[in-house]
Amino acid sequence: MSNKTISMLKLRQVIRLYNQGKGTKAIAGMLFISRNTIKKYLHIFLSSGL
């Protein structure tokens, strides 16, 4: 399942849960996404300055 994109809805959920103080391990368990994918998307989001 490598190189499979996630939907914008899941991306929004990742960002929302991260802003609520959840860790990457907790988010991965809730959304069934790998921790590395979550870290990658959070890194992109945080470096964008939004």
* Global pTM exceeds 0.85: no
Alpha carbons within 13 angstroms on the beta-carbon side of residue 4 total: 5
Nearest to 14 by CA among 25, 3, 1: 25
pLDDT of residue 21: 96
Contact 33, 6 (CB under 8 A): yes
pLDDT of residue 45: 87
Asked if residue 24 has pLDDT above 80, the reply is yes
pLDDT of residue 1: 52
